[in-house]
Amino acid sequence: MSFNSGLDIERSYHTATAEPEPRHPILTAKIDADLVVIGGGCTGLSAALNAAERGLKVVLVEGGRVGWGASGRNGGQMIVGLCKTACELVKLLGRERARALFDLALEAWGLVLDLIKRHAMNCDLRKTVHPIGTASAGDMTRFEHEIECLATIMNCPLMRILSAAEVRVAVDAPYHGGLFDGGHMLPLNYTLALAQAAAAAGVMFHERSVVRRLDSRNGIRAETAFGAVRARRAVLAGHALLKRIHLPIESRIMPIGSYIVDNEPLANAAAVIPSNAAVSDTRFIRCRPTAGCCLAESATCPARRPTSGTSFAHTSRGLSSSSSISYACGGLASVTTSRLPHVGRDGDMYFAHGCSGLGVILSTLVGKLLVEAIAD
């Protein structure tokens, strides 16, 4: 059975509309490399691409198919920031460090836009407003504090309060108000295009090659059922789908169930989200418009079975009640207890995980940061 089979991504809207993708061979030989990347999502692909562009020999091994984990199975909302609010970051880390982290989040946005343009990625990029609706009037006070913190400490005037009437212009929903930021895209197409760019840079890919043992006593040796990669360094980018190959790192990962559904085409699709924007609300439901449809995503914790009917029913509340569901899939994503990405190194192994729901752009950044650390 494939490592990421059972995630039901083959039942998703993203797969149905995906660009043609090459199949990569199973690892059946012993290979030497400068860097072995474990995991074929955006974190691993970004690391592989950046390392190859620096002239390193890179081998990427993926237990299932490239892009079929959380990177290709999410709502595609390009939300600028971190899972912690600006106010929470300042309280937790102080003004200077909070500002530095928020600057990185802004850099992630620019990095992804640059990659899409530079490699002519066909991922249905839409740079639009992103209303975040409040489910109750009490959330508006928190939003007002956030706007002030963003403007005065983070020097980020990109977001503002919306009145209920202004939200109605963006999305036909009874929200009290919201903030603007970001855009949206088809995440699987972006992930596959990132893989194509990495392959063009010289990265060697192997799919259906689960790493069963990772030895770091003398360099790195990543062993699969039929082959092995010996490298100077490794990047662990499997997130919630790592298979107990390095427990000190995996113990920091908290898997959650992530569910996404798409409704049948709506006759009044343009009237539902007239701004053509991705929409979030404070109930942790996110929606983005597709071709005459709406795509909704939600996450639940602790992790449940990907095909949980209760979770799909909860997710579908973000869509029009007058239309049936045409696509539905679910699977695991990773968060951390701090809700901030866990990025670092353990000897010659570098790792990143836990973008906690904002990995659409953050994962590309952390992959790049790992290679910058490897290259000193």
> What is the percent of the chain with per-residue pLDDT over 70, rounded to a whole number?
89
Say what the pLDDT of residue 293 is: 65
The tokens of 242 are what?
Answer: 């790592």
DSSP labels, 253-269: -EEEEEEEEEEPPPTTH
Complete domains list, the chain, with CATH: 9-73+189-253+339-374 (3.50.50.60)
pLDDT 10s digits, 272-320:
888 888 888 777 677 878 765 676 665 555 554 444 444 445 455 554 4
Whether the model clears a pTM of 0.85, i.e. scores above it, the answer is yes
Q: Which residue has the tokens 């939300």?
A: 79
Question: What DSSP element (H or E) covers 135?
Answer: none
Distance from C-alpha of 189 to C-alpha of 71, rounded to nearest angstrom: 10
223-243 pLDDT tens trace: 999 999 999 999 999 877 787
Report pLDDT digits (tens) over 35-86. Answer: 999 999 999 999 999 999 999 999 999 999 999 888 988 888 898 888 888 9
Which residue, chain included where needed, has tokens 């609706």?
Answer: 133
Interval 191-215 mean pLDDT: 97
Report CA Rg, the chain: 20
Question: In the prediction, which pLDDT does 374 show?
Answer: 96
